[in-house]
C-alpha cells in the first residue's frame, strides 16, 4: 500500500505548496524516499524536465525540497490559461489541446486511469507521497467531477490535512465552513488542520483553537508563523504581492513588464536574491520610468501582449528607455516582442495573422503548431548556461545579427543551433532560455556590466551556487515546520494510526 498524506487548503494561496515542500524536506531529512504529487495544476509558470516534459513549477520546487529530479508523473495535468475562457491542456508533459472550462470539466474524468497509474508507479518507487490539492475542496459546484482534491484523495485513499491562511482574516470561519460543506465521507478523511501565516503570540489563538476542535472534532496540528523565505512561488496571487517600487537602498533598478499573459515570472527569483538589485513589476497603470535594466518576460499569448503594450502606451515608454540607454532583456515571449514582426498563419495564438513587434532586434517570429519543450545547455561567450525552452514560435534573425547563445545539448543529446539575438552593441538582448538568470556567475557578470555603465564598482564577492541557496531555504522551511507542527501526529496520519 502506498503511504501518503494530502495537503488541501481552505482557499487558493493558503500555503499548500509551501507546506508540501516543507514536509518533503522533513521526510527527506528523516531518511525517507519522498516525492510530491499534484494531479492537476493550473499555472502559467512551468518547467521542462530532463526528458523534455512540461510540468508545473510548484512540483519542481517540491521535488527539489525532496532531493529528487522533477518528474512529469508528479504533475500529470497542467492547465495553462490562454484567455479568460480557455486553457491549453498539457497531459503527461505534452500539449493535448485547448479547451474551455465547460469542455474540460466534462472531459477530465477520462484522464483518471492514467493519473492513478502514474501515482501508483511513484508509490512503488518511494516510501511516501505528499499530495497537494488545488483551490478548495469546498467548491461544491465542481466536486462531482473533481480529480485534484477529495476526488483524488478518494481515488488513492489518502488522508488529508487542511491548511488555512490566518493572514487574510476569518480563519476559523474558513476552517469551519470548508469542513461543513464537505460530505460526511470527505469530512472523515480530514485528519488535521494547520493554521498558516500567523503573526503574533500563539497563546492568543488557543481559545479559538479549542473551540474549532470542539466544533469540528478535528485536531489542529499546529500554527505556522508568517516567515520570510526565498522560495519560488508559482501562484498568480504571489505576483500581486510583488513589489511595484524601486527600493532606493539598492544600487540597480530592474523593472519587469507585467504582461497580461505573463508566464514564468519564476525566471526572476534569482535576480530578487541579488544583494544590489531591486526588482519591481510594472503593472497596468504604472510607469516604467528609466530603470537600469528593463525585462520583457515570457508570455502565453505574445500577440495579445503586443496589443497590450501598444494600447497601454507602454510601447512608447519601452522605446524611450531604449533611446535613453536602458539595458533591455527579453525571455521567450519577451524576446519575440523585441523583434520586428510576429506571424501566426495557423492561428495558434490569435485570430490576428501578423503584428509588428517593438523592432529593437532584427528578428521575426512565426508561430508553429508544435511546441518546443527542451532542457538545454548553451554556450554564451565564456559561460556555459543551463535553461529550458517552452515556446510555439520559431524566430529567425537577420544575416549578421549576433545570436545570444549556441545550444550545445538538447534533452541530453548533442546539437548545434543558435538561440536568441543581441543588438545595439549589447544594449538589447533576447533569448528563449527560461532560467537564464539562474546561472549566477553569468548573471553577476551581466549585472556588473550594468553597474559599470552606471559608474558603480563591480561586485566580485564569491557567488553562492543556486543549489546551495535553495538548500539553505528548504532547510530553513523544514526547521520552521518542525517547530510548529506535531510531526508525531503527522507520521501517525501517514501510517493510518489516527
Give catalytic residues, as residue numbers. 332, 434
Q: What are phi and psi of 114, to 5 degrees?
A: -70, -40
Q: How do the residues of the chain divide into helix, strand and coil, expressed in percent and rounded to 5?
A: 35, 30, 35
Q: How buried is 369 (Cβ within 10 angstroms: 0-12 exposed, 13-18 middle, 19+ buried)?
A: exposed
Going by their DSSP bridges, the two strands 363-380 and 383-397 should be labelled as: antiparallel
Backbone angle region of 311, left / alpha / beta, with phi > 0 → left and psi within -120 to 50 → alpha:
alpha
* Cell numbers at 173, concatenated: 470561519
* Cell numbers at 470, concatenated: 535553495
Q: What are phi and psi of 482, to 5 degrees?
A: -60, -40
Q: Which residues contact 492 (CB under 8 A, 6 or more apart)?
A: 498
* Cell numbers at 352, concatenated: 490576428
Q: How far out from the chain centre does Cα 8 lie? A: 18
- CA nearest to 440, candidates 385, 479, 487: 385
- CA nearest to 83, candidates 364, 299, 238: 299
* 3-state secondary structure (DSSP) of residue 227: coil
81 pairs with which residues across the strands? 87
Question: For residue 172, how many C-alpha atoms fall within 13 Å in the half-sphere facing its CB?
Answer: 12
* Inter-residue contact 50 to 59 (CB < 8 Å): no
Tell me the C-alpha distance between 296 and 55, whole Å: 23
Cα distance from N-terminal residue to C-terminal residue, the chain? 17
- CA nearest to 309, candidates 290, 272, 282, 327: 282
Q: Which residue has the cell 532606493?
A: 248
Q: Which residues contact 381 (CB under 8 A, 6 or more apart)?
A: none
* Cell numbers at 320, concatenated: 524611450
Tell me the C-alpha distance between 294 and 299, whole Å: 16
Tell me the C-alpha distance between 441 and 497, whole Å: 49
Amino acid at each position: 500500500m502506498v503511504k501518503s498524506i494530502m495537503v488541501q487548503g481552505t482557499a487558493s494561496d493558503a500555503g499548500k505548496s509551501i507546506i508540501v515542500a516543507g514536509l518533503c524536506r522533513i521526510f527527506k531529512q528523516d531518511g525517507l524516499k519522498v516525492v510530491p504529487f499534484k494531479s492537476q495544476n493550473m499555472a502559467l509558470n512551468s518547467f521542462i524536465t530532463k526528458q523534455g516534459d512540461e510540468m508545473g513549477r510548484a512540483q519542481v520546487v517540491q521535488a527539489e525540497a525532496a532531493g529528487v529530479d522533477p518528474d512529469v508523473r508528479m504533475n500529470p495535468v497542467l492547465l495553462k490559461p490562454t484567455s479568460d475562457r480557455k486553457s491549453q491542456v498539457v497531459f503527461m508533459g505534452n500539449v493535448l489541446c485547448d479547451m474551455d472550462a465547460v469542455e474540460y470539466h466534462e472531459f477530465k474524468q477520462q484522464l483518471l486511469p492514467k493519473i492513478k497509474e502514474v501515482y501508483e508507479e511513484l508509490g512503488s518507487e518511494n516510501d511516501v507521497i505528499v499530495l497537494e490539492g488545488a483551490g478548495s475542496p469546498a467548491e461544491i459546484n465542481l466536486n462531482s467531477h473533481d480529480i485534484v482534491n477529495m476526488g483524488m484523495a478518494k481515488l488513492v485513499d489518502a488522508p488529508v490535512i487542511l491548511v488555512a491562511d490566518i493572514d487574510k482574516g476569518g480563519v476559523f470561519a474558513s476552517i469551519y465552513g470548508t469542513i461543513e460543506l464537505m460530505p460526511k465521507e470527505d469530512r472523515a478523511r480530514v485528519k488535521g488542520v494547520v493554521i498558516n501565516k500567523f503573526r503574533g503570540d500563539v497563546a492568543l489563538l488557543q481559545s479559538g483553537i479549542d473551540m474549532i476542535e470542539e466544533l469540528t472534532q478535528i485536531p489542529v496540528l499546529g500554527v505556522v508563523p508568517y516567515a520570510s523565505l526565498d522560495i519560488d512561488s508559482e501562484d498568480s496571487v504571489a505576483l500581486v504581492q510583488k513589489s511595484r517600487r524601486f527600493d532606493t537602498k539598492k544600487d540597480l533598478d530592474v523593472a519587469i513588464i507585467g504582461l497580461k499573459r505573463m508566464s514564468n515570472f519564476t525566471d526572476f527569483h534569482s535576480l530578487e536574491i541579488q544583494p544590489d538589485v531591486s526588482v519591481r513589476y510594472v503593472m497596468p497603470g504604472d510607469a516604467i520610468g528609466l530603470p537600469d535594466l528593463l525585462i520583457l518576460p515570457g508570455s502565453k499569448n505574445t500577440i495579445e501582449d503586443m496589443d497590450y503594450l501598444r494600447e497601454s502606451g507602454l510601447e512608447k515608454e519601452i522605446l524611450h528607455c531604449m533611446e535613453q540607454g536602458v539595458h533591455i532583456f527579453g525571455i521567450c515571449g519577451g524576446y519575440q516582442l523585441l523583434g520586428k514582426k510576429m506571424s501566426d498563419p495557423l492561428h495558434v495564438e490569435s485570430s490576428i495573422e501578423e503584428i509588428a513587434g517593438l523592432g529593437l532586434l532584427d528578428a521575426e517570429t512565426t508561430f508553429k503548431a508544435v511546441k518546443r519543450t527542451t532542457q538545454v545547455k548553451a554556450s554564451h561567450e565564456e559561460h556555459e548556461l543551463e535553461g529550458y525552452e517552452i515556446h510555439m514560435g520559431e524566430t529567425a534573425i537577420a544575416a549578421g545579427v549576433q545570436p545570444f547563445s549556441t545550444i550545445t545539448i538538447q534533452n541530453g543529446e548533442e546539437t548545434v543551433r543558435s538561440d536568441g539575438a543581441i543588438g545595439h552593441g549589447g544594449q538589447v538582448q533576447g533569448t528563449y532560455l527560461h532560467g537564464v538568470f539562474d546561472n549566477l556567475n553569468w548573471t553577476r557578470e551581466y549585472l556588473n556590466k550594468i553597474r559599470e555603465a552606471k559608474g558603480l564598482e563591480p561586485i566580485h564577492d564569491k557567488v553562492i551556487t543556486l543549489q546551495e541557496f535553495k538548500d539553505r531555504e528548504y532547510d530553513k522551511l523544514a526547521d520552521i515546520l518542525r517547530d510548529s507542527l506535531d510531526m508525531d501526529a503527522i507520521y501517525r496520519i501517514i501510517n493510518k494510526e489516527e
